[in-house]
Amino acid sequence: MSVYFDHAATTPLLEVSRNAMLGALEVVGNPSSIHSDGRRARQLLEESREQLAASIGCDPIEVIFTGGGTESVNLAIKGIFLAAREAGRKRILAPLGEHHATIDSLNWLEQNEGAIVEWLPLDEFGRVVPSVVEEKLAEFDDWALFTVIWANNEVGTIQPIAELAAIANRFSVPVHADAVSAFKHLSIDFDSSGLAALSISAHKIGGPQGMGALILDRKAVARPLIHGGGQERDLRSGTQNVAGAAAFAAAVASDIPDLRPLRDRLIAGVLEAVPEAVLTGDPVERLDSNAHFLFPGCQGDSLVYLLDERGISASTGSACQAGVPEVSHVLLGMGLDEESASGALRLTLGHSSTAQDVDSLIRVIPEVFEKARKAGLSNRDVGLNS
């Protein structure tokens, strides 16, 4: 197995999660059936819901199981907007630099459902400035929703969610937080957060892919995107994934180590090995699992390929763009130009990361940087001469 630095894309399945899923697969009933097999499946599903609710500080009824973080984000943004539009509220506030699940949902609502999206600027660290949020909310009285990513999936910057939610609540604007990257890395208490909705995913914390949840306040109003049997508070119809829910709950119950010492070792080692490298994102308020750099004169894809040749998996940013190389919209939103942003490398840690992994990366990064920079210079010369 390679040395793995792409835990933000997906982290290895925990053994306890695998065992929970295998055990749950032996339960044959449909949780909507009333016979004993169905009741047994229902019991396992609801026990999993209770475990997840306890871990995030909400009532079990507020946990809506979904097929992943992207679906949760779609259901929150579209569902809340469609309900609010019935009352004449059609404006949505969102920062630049959000995950594509949010951006594409907002673009779809704008193109098809009459939404008006107002985009917030980011500072040079990828932060949302609370005073700017307050000024923007004061401009209009037809807000349907404010949506914001809790911790940026690319550069790792953590937003002041409690402060942002408090501002929005003063204007009676519901807030959705994309917490896919933040869950289990930050302390989250939904009841005291001031949020109306929060999206999470299983495979980012050692659970299975294709499993997620939307935490939706019992007072929040949303419209379903999927219609059928009325499962999950009539917001997500379809036979529930009992085995996935059990595996998700098992991952939630597992401890994630404090990754800050390993992250700091990684950051310090890379900056010492390659003095030209630049750390991006908030230097203090950042995920314990995230180290994101710019390497001047390089293409991020070249860095990824060269590291892969040496048995190290890394990324340039989000894995949710269908493998299409492009300059990060997050970095552009932070004010970087395309040339600078093209040299991005994201290194993310998880429960299986070790000091040996970090040292392996630090040993090869100077050579990788030099080769990527030479390749970048060669490509630029070819472009100038063509």
Q: Please, are residues 181 and 151 in contact by the beta-carbon 8 Å criterion?
A: yes
58 is catalytic: no
Residue reference for tokens 């949780």: 31
Q: Which residue has the tokens 């080692």?
A: 269
Nearest to 95 by CA among 61, 128, 63: 128
Q: With contact defined as beta carbons under 8 Å apart, do 238 and 218 qualify?
A: no
Of 279, 320, 362, 364, the catalytic one is 320
Q: List C-alpha distances in Å: 253 to 5, 14, 271, 350.
A: 24, 11, 35, 16
Distance CA 61, CA 219 (A): 11
Amino acid at 212: G
Residues near 176 by beta carbon (within 8 Å), at least 6 away in sequence: 73, 76, 77, 80, 145, 146, 147, 148, 195, 196, 197, 198, 199
CB 328 within 8 A of CB 154: yes
- Alpha-carbon distance 317 to 158, whole Å? 16
83 phi and psi angles, rounded to 5 deg? -70, -40
Secondary element (H or E) of residue 338: helix 338-341
348, 290 in Cβ contact below 8 A? yes
Q: Which residues contact 22 (CB under 8 A, 6 or more apart)?
A: none
């939706």: which residue's tokens?
216
Handedness of CA 300, 106, 174, 55 (dihedral sign): negative
Task: Show which residues are catalytic.
Answer: 320
